[in-house]
Structure 1
Amino acid sequence: MSAAYRPGPDAGVTLSEDGQTVYVAHLPGGPLVVLEGAAAVIWVEATTAPGDGWVSRVADAFGRPEDAIASDVETFVDDLRARRLLVTDDSPRD
């Protein structure tokens, strides 16, 4: 089973040792995007299998109902996709 999303074709990703921060950038020139807090949780859950239920896992991480956060999560992921930092896992690989 795969994740819902994966890093874009030229995105480099590093997760901090404590798992609280995600660093992502288009390689080789950037810019560097630093994801912390909820943004880091969203990235990790979106890119971790299984793809089904990942928004629910984000909601659980914050003790919130899924329907209360789904719209904000979708907006955030749409922004990452527009910047080609995230692509759907079934997107063609470059």
Structure 2
Amino acid sequence: MSGAFRPGPDAGVTVDGDSGTVYVARLPGGPLLVLEGAAAVIWAEATAAPAAGWLSRVAAAVGHAEDVIAADVEDFVADLRARQLLVPVDGDDQVDGADAPQ
């Protein structure tokens, strides 16, 4: 079982277990992105198993309805994908992971 997304092939990722902050960069040259708060939650849930329902888990974690945050989450994930920091596990472009393998 895997998440809906995984780090890109040249991405280096470190998660601070105490703060939940995610540090991610394309290696070797960067730039380094520091994901905190909702951004770190999105990364964590998008890359955590099970893939199905990860957007719902983000919504629950940030205390907003899924339909309220979906567009912003989709834009954020699209930006990470454009930077080649995040890639879909199964090649599917769906953000919500509804059809992703479990």
Q: Same-fold call, TM > 0.5?
A: yes
CA distance in 1: counterparts of 2:70 and 2:51, whole angstroms: 15
CA distance in 2: counterparts of 1:38 and 1:52, whole angstroms: 19
Secondary structure (helix, strand or coil) at the match of 2:78 reads helix
The runs of 4+ residues in structure 1 deviating greater than 3 Å are none
Secondary structure (helix, strand or coil) at the match of 2:43 reads helix
CA distance in 1: counterparts of 2:85 and 2:23, whole angstroms: 11
* 1:84 matched residue in structure 2: 84
Which TM-score applies when normalising by structure 2? Answer: 0.85
* 2:59 matched residue in structure 1: 59
Q: What are the ranges of 5 or more consecutive residues in structure 1 without an aligned counterpart?
A: none
Task: Give the 5 Å matches for 1:1-94.
Answer: 1-91=1-91
How far residue 19 of structure 1 moved from its aligned partner, in angstroms, is 4.4
- RMSD value over aligned CA atoms? 1.0
Aligned residues: 91
Secondary structure (helix, strand or coil) at the match of 1:49 reads coil
How far residue 40 of structure 1 moved from its aligned partner, in angstroms, is 0.3
How far residue 64 of structure 1 moved from its aligned partner, in angstroms, is 1.1
* 2:97 matched residue in structure 1: none
CA distance in 1: counterparts of 2:59 and 2:53, whole angstroms: 10
Which stretch shifts more, 30-39 or 11-20?
Answer: 11-20
How far residue 20 of structure 1 moved from its aligned partner, in angstroms, is 2.0
